[in-house]
Structure 1
């Protein structure tokens, strides 16, 4: 369907107007809350309420603007959902890019019928992985207040309320804002891992199940809307597949607080939450299964199962109560017994051994319901419950275990030294040939070096004890809930094979007459540009190894073996800049996909995307469309980090929308890669040159003498290193040195963002384009022509433009004024400002126009934030200057007393920019 342009423009303008009106209403409510709290001095400074006084703003402005931005973010999300609904009504559901109606339409356009589409969907297996990096500054209590506000905002949209009813809603909003004002907004004590895990569990247990209900409904409606038979879809089972993963409590890369005991507790907490989820869902189902034995034929199998479970429950009072209340409603009676059994398991008592046992009881319910002629009850009530059991099981989410290759090397050195292997204590420094020769020979044997009770100390005990936690979990609960063993900074084949050695030592390897295999998948994580370039040469021999082949075959069963490969978007960008990093990732995926195909193995790429564009973020469906042809096998994993979890999933409408983008995007991308011939990207011939030149410019800046000194003074990196934002240290080694290499990519990006440079997201691109234009002007015009048809470069340049638009030259200069050496300041600002103008001007030349005209929605969201943000930035600069003075004068107590103000400043700016690291 061709979209009428005036209608799209009309809807956009309607959206802008709705943002302004809704924001004005909420800011009015915030003003009422301030009056009630006795904060009248802040009233003239209410954002978006007229002219703000020029004089120095009073104490409390940071909190005022932070809450103002939180309200604006809420309004934008709500208006986006409203305009999507309106667009669906006016133009049609398939007008919305990235959602199921459009995806099914596009698959049909590829010549696929329902049978072929189902074959594609059967392979689609998408898994968002929740991680807790130091980027989520808000406390859970604040997010609870946000949810209350959002719910009132939704209620206020109902057009038929009376004035009295609207007045009540407004009063509830004012009350919620009063509470929010008096709720401590930030962590003054660094949150521990379990608080981060509890936050993630909230999304997994309390929010995603409801989103899955809607998501399933959207897909079913789109399937029917495309004219496809529902019976075919139901016969295919739970496809496409969506499940969830987590790193919280398993990711120990540079995080010394993630101990084996923490991993044990993380698995227990998620299992308990899974039983809570299932118990709640079964309770809700029971309330709807009120079919009477007087009006329906009751299967004997149902009666028998009620008797068996009543006896097995072992709690006479509960069993008698269920019998007295629900004997006349046998399906409800059985549901009540199932819920009682799950409640026991919430408290760690015996119950169902496996999800299959529980599903057998649900199947008994479903068969009886269908037998009574109530197919719709099964379709709409029992089937969604069974789907959630399939997705969440008794584990809630897969827990990956990640560790750095250097840490493994130290563990193996200790192990070999304790076992008396000659030169074993220097294993970490052995040349690769020696390491491989040793590992190849040693892995032929199933026996460990030491007894399983032996204590080695140091890194060896930490790795082996963690693996033993996984062994114990497998013995009690099977493999469900256990993800992969991920090796960060994978640089050579021995980094992967060494994990098999450690797994064997801990009892995580299985053995039979035909050989050995690892109980869990071992996954390389390629992070730096050099590692990405070398990755096919590492993956190929790894796939050839007998243990890898057996491991993948055991996991695949009768299907095609698959291998997960993780790609790091953070370190590659920090290493070489955005354009070279994106090209290295693109090229790496192409080469790795070919390696997988050559070995008869499909690859599941795990994209370690961060919350900012510099670290791989960007619209999900655009990201998928820009993947190299063939790189999407159907299996797809992606990290969801820090504040992006709340941004995408904090409310039901947004959570459903973002999950649908993921699932439908994976489906159409898989279909396109499978059923179309690869097309050469017309921009590809220019990319090696552009990537090389941008990398040279980026690295030249970082290597210029004095850069570290400039960076540490012109950005709040020192404040971030002292912050309490997340449980994890800002540096991999924990040292507060002056090494960019040791600094994590998250605070690297966060610091440039807070100072409004956004430097990692654009620096080097202008130099690359200028080099092309200067050396071969005709090639620049050819690039301009090719850009219109290049999904990859279009995606990258769109993201670069977003970063440029978010940067602010005036504020860059104001932050740079914190650099004490005037000559150093001028040297670096001249370089940065020149590259900024160069990049912006050349991109405008390529696109024939200014960004504001081409992307009015983004221009609107940036413009509305700028005035209050400037106030916050100027306050932060003053706070930084004063705090650094106290630190320099060694006035530690006074500096520490100032720090809450600094944290509030960081948090307020992060709210305004909607991004951290």
Structure 2
């Protein structure tokens, strides 16, 4: 597709690419003996000349093949739309119109300029930015890694077709390659044949960390400099390691132990080692490439003194290991020096004299090389060869990503109970049931002592071993490699300051605390994770209590000095998933908003900068939404140029699988953080009247949501009107769907909760409750509803938090489907009870649609034509899949009730295929 074929209107969004791909898929299916499956494919009027009636039912004898074909077709649709977006973005850039593109660097720069910031102030903000996507392995990636590789190849072929220089023969070759790739995909199969192991998930994450992000961050830097110039700024574009934003990465894969028994201490140790080895391999390759580039012969001249001194110093510390590097390029001192640096990289299992222990030492050692090139007047080579390497080194270091370790507070309680019992403390085993005062008294006493409860060789098995294992691994890694590759100790379900102080006590027994002038400090951050509505409301008091503790204050100051920060920092993680599951989307987002403002103020009161870690999921019901709008909607004075955010499950592949999308999503994060910092500097704040209105909306919405969850028969309805039982039997991720295995709604993770509602097209966590809340305003306070409409409008009065909330809910509501809901509700055994719950949902659905139409001033299909077009295209193709899944569910459940387990097990792969196909069609899982 050439530039003239780029299509951006809602009705033909990505159509040319989709036509090409679907014709290829049909050609492949026909050629391998599946013409009937090809005849069932969706969107045939788009890619076939003759009229075609979409299938209403999947033919029973080829249903399994049809499910796989539909799944592939939806993936092709996603690729076509992704390519259309990228090409449209490129065309916009060529026209010089990026300032009008929401979330782009150009827009952020031009808006900051218009608001009164000059180039110098903007450069200061850029240099202070820190962006950290954190990759997690939550069980929401329905596709196998092999399948993802085939999708990446297909996307590359699609992009290659954009080149208008291809000859007809070359175009035909691309078509043949596409056919071959689709045949591989078809013969590979879409679903996991067995439950993936942690090693599989880690391998996928390592691909992104080692292969995708190093290149994507370079493209990120280039885009930033290009946008700076395009915005008309007079100051030189930011260049050099200290002028660019710090883009770093985190990971939970191999460190997140919350409800995941497979994450052992050995797994954590292996993961840290994998990160280190991959980072060093990347650096070795970069240095090898640098040596090949710096083929500078001095033609009998002496090398610059700074380089001569650096070579002599490296020769001295390396000893005999320096000889090969010096003999290989005797007349090329620049190459000699780079090869000496390569020889100084640490190797696994070896600790030789002269090895760099931390990445900062290599960074310092690159400075003489930079100075020597400048002394020769080779500034261009510094910019081209040295600065990109130093920038990448600061981002990826010797570790690629920082590994967080997460555990649930209840596990820490059990671990301390076990240790106390082992130490002979009366009633110690019941530590988790002690009063807060008694727990605090014990913690204060023990934290004044460096004496552990037991020796490493005598740690009780069970909870104590589970809690101490990773801490011991981290202590060892700290001693051997330093702190660069280790993230935070995150405490899920933080209920009190005692939950956080308990980690310090466990760290003492694991040998993780460090002695600082006779007092103990923790070298790693202990981070609360506030998830439920109640915990978020208590969060400010908990943080205030925690920051008052002397050991916490000492540890904050210690890490500030160690890391060279300007003030102490305390990370706080806020969870979007469980708060949404607990109180509904309106109450969740507004409670999070209120909590962040209050937590930032608590930090300021203690002289501590609170760094928020946003635990967003991949769907609207779990906090997802357009990245730039999400950042814009965060409370004033809470981002402060520092953005740490999770990237979960299938969203990792959606955002980062391909170079163009990867660099773009990094740009959205960077430009969003810049804009937040810029407008905070200019005095951004909330309107005085809207927070009180939002308080009322949140309360009304939560009440409506809880009425549904607490209605008689609701749990049974959820269990039967959604495929939650299939999801719990699925092989999507290594993590169990329940934290402890209890059969309760509270124990069920938010991911399968949202996933199940999405599959059955209720999409309930993404919209339920707003209709009742807005209707109450319309009835009792119409002036407040009018104010909401004004704050949502496309005018200068728009308030970003409200706009983000309403647009997300509108998208979720549009994705839901009443006809499909009714089909799934028909699976409920108690028809009367099912009808009552369904009627309650339908009433709220109608109410929400009517109120959104009032707010938008038009039907949503008219007000949001692009979203409507995208959803309509999918809904038409999904209809036979939903119908087929409902039939499969009924049959499968009947087989299980009758004890015909072998037959039920034989039916499960087809059910999982239906889950996979519907997830592909919707573009989301949980």
Aligned to 1:178: 183
Name the structure 2 match of 1:271.
276
CA RMSD between the two structures:
2.3
Give the TM-score of the pair, scaled to structure 1: 0.94
> Which is further off, 696-705 or 328-337?
328-337
In the alignment, which of 889, 893, 905 is matched to residue 902 of structure 2? 893
Corresponding residue SS for 1:820: coil
Among 537, 541, 558, the alignment partner of 1:537 is 541
State which of 325, 331, 337 in structure 1 corresponds to 2:334. 331
In structure 2, how many angstroms separate the alpha carbons of the residues matched to 1:336 and 1:512? 39
Shift of 1:893: 1.8
The answer for unaligned runs of 5 or more in structure 2 is 46-51
2:545 is aligned with 1:508: no
Compare 877-886 and 717-726 and name the one that shifted more.
877-886
- CA distance in 2 between counterparts of 1:145 and 1:312 reads 47
Deviations 1:323-378 (A, max 9, x none): 55x54544344434544665x72686754322133224432332232222221111
Number of the residue aligned with 2:589: 582
**2:823 pairs with 1:814:** yes
Matches within 5 A, 1:782-801: 782-788=787-793, 789-801=798-810
Do structure 1's residue 102 and structure 2's residue 104 form an aligned pair? no
- Give SS of 2:194's match: coil
Deviations 1:86-125 (CA, angstroms, capped at 9, x unpaired): 2223352222221222222222233222332233234321
Matched, 1:470 2:474: yes
Q: Which residue of 2 aligns with 1:44?
A: 39
- Per-residue deviation, 1:18: 5.9
**C-alpha distance after superposition, 1:593-644 (max 9, x if no partner):** 1111111111111110000011110111111111111111222211100000
Deviation at 1:526, TM superposition (A): 0.7
Residue 590 of structure 1: how far off its partner (Å): 1.5
Which deviates more from structure 2 when the two are superposed, residues 221-230 or residues 598-607? 221-230
1:659 equivalent in alignment to 2:666 = yes
Superimposed CA distance per residue, residues 147-183 of structure 1 (whole angstroms, 9 cap, x where no aligned partner): 1111111111011211111111111111111111111
Correspondence for 1:157 among 152, 159, 162: 162
What is aligned with 1:6?
none
Counterpart of 2:48? none
Q: Is it true that 1:650 corresponds to 2:657 in the alignment?
A: yes
Aligned to 1:705: 712
Q: 1:548-578 deviations in whole A, cap 9, x for unaligned? A: 1111111222611111111011111111111
User: Structure 1 residues 662, 580: CA separation in 2 closer, same or farther (over 3 Å shift)?
Assistant: same
| TM alignment of 1:384-423, pairs within 5 A | 384-423=388-427
Q: Does 1:239 align with 2:234?
A: no
Please name the residue that 1:345 is paired with.
347
Residue 21 (structure 1) shift: 1.1
**Cα distance in 1 for residues equivalent to 2:660 and 2:471:** 39
Q: Which residue of 2 aligns with 1:24?
A: 19
In structure 2, the CA distance between the partners of 1:306 and 1:38, relative to structure 1 (3 Å rule), is farther
For residue 636 of structure 1, give the secondary structure of its aligned residue in structure 2.
strand
8 Å contact 1:682–1:786 — kept in the other structure?
Answer: no
| Equivalent-residue separation in structure 2 for 1:185 and 1:314 (angstroms) | 55
1:721 aligns with 2:724: no
Query: Which of 523, 542, 561 pairs up with 2:568?
Result: 561
Asked if 2 retains the 8 angstrom alpha-carbon contact of 1:88 and 1:95, the reply is: no
- State how far apart, in whole Å, the 2-side matches of 1:296 and 1:200 are: 48
How many equivalent residue pairs?
903
Question: In structure 2, which of residues 516, 521, 527 is the aligned counterpart of residue 517 of structure 1?
Answer: 521
CA distance in 1 between counterparts of 2:790 and 2:360 reads 57
Partner Cα separation in structure 2 for residue 346 and residue 515 of structure 1: 34
Partner residue, 1:551: 555
- 1:119-160 C-alpha deviation (Å, 9 max, x unpaired): 323432121110000101111111111111111111110112
Corresponding residue for 1:680? 687
Alignment equivalent of 1:625, drawn from 632, 649, 663: 632
2:889 is aligned with 1:880: yes
Structure-1 residue corresponding to 2:366: 362
2:241–2:387 Cα contact (<8 Å) kept = no
Q: How does 1:100-179 map to 2 (within 5 A)?
A: 100-179=105-184
Distance in 2 between the 1:899 and 1:348 partners? 50
In structure 1, C-alpha distance between the alignment counterparts of 2:829 and 2:470, rounded to whole Å? 48
* 1:823 equivalenced with 2:832 (yes/no): yes
Question: Per the alignment, in what secondary structure is the counterpart of residue 276 of structure 2?
Answer: helix
* Corresponding residue number in structure 1 for 2:855: 846
User: Residues 711-790 of structure 1 correspond to what in structure 2 (within 5 A)?
Assistant: 711-735=718-742, 737=743, 739-788=744-793, 789-790=798-799
Superposed CA offset, 1:487-544 (max 9, x none): 1111111111111111111121122336321110111111110111111111011111
Aligned partners of 1:682, 1:329: CA distance in 2, in Å? 70
Check conservation: 1:87, 1:95, Cα contact below 8 A: no
TM-score (norm 2): 0.94
- Residues 726 and 322 of structure 1, relative CA distance in 2, 3 Å threshold: farther
Distance 1:12 1:843, change over 3 A: farther
1:184-263 aligned within 5 A = 184-228=189-233, 233-234=238-239, 237-263=242-268
Of 75-84 and 39-48, deviating more is 39-48
Looking at structure 2, the residues matched to 413 and 883 of structure 1 have their Cα atoms a distance apart, in angstroms, of: 44
Does 2:868 match 1:867? no
Looking at structure 2, the residues matched to 403 and 62 of structure 1 have their Cα atoms a distance apart, in angstroms, of 38
How far the C-alpha of 1:67 sits from its partner, in A, is: 0.7
- Rounded to whole Å, the distance in 2 between the matches of 1:883 and 1:578 is 33
Correspondence for 1:3: none
Identify if the C-alpha distance between structure 1 residues 294 and 886 changes in structure 2 by more than 3 Å, giving closer, same or farther: farther
Q: Verify the 8 A CA contact 1:289 1:332 in the aligned structure 2.
A: yes
Distance 1:403 1:893 in 2: 37
Match for residue 911 of structure 1 among 900, 910, 920: 920
Comparing 372-381 with 54-63, which one deviates more in the overlay? 54-63
Q: Check conservation: 1:756, 1:808, Cα contact below 8 A.
A: yes
3-state SS, counterpart of residue 215 of structure 2? helix
Cα distance change of structure 1 residues 361 and 688 upon mapping to structure 2, 3 Å threshold: closer
CA distance in 2, matches of 1:650, 1:762: 29
* Separation (CA, whole Å) in 1 of partners of 2:529 and 2:200: 27
Per-residue deviation, residues 290-347 of structure 1 (Å, max 9, x unmatched): 333439753355467668768988999x9759955x54544344434544665x7268
Against the structure 1 CA distance between its residues 321 and 632, is the aligned structure 2 distance closer, same or farther, given a 3 Å change threshold? closer
Deviates further, 392-401 or 547-556? 547-556
Give the distance between the partners of 1:704 and 1:29, measured in 2 at CA.
50
Instruction: Work out the CA distance in 2 between the residues paired with 1:229 and 1:787.
Output: 35
Unaligned runs of 5+ in 1: 1-9
Structure-2 change in CA distance of 1:73 and 1:295 (3 Å): farther
Note the alpha carbon deviations across 1:806-858, whole angstroms, 9 max, x for none.
11111111111111221122111111111101101111011101222222221
Measure, in 1, the Cα distance between the counterparts of 2:803 and 2:373. 53
CA contact (8 A) 2:10 2:869 kept: no
Specify whether residues 677 and 794 from structure 1 end up closer, same or farther in structure 2 by C-alpha distance, changes over 3 A only. Answer: closer
Q: Determine whether 1:290 maps to 2:299.
A: no
Given that 1:681 and 1:790 are in contact with CA atoms closer than 8 Å, whether structure 2 keeps it comes out as no
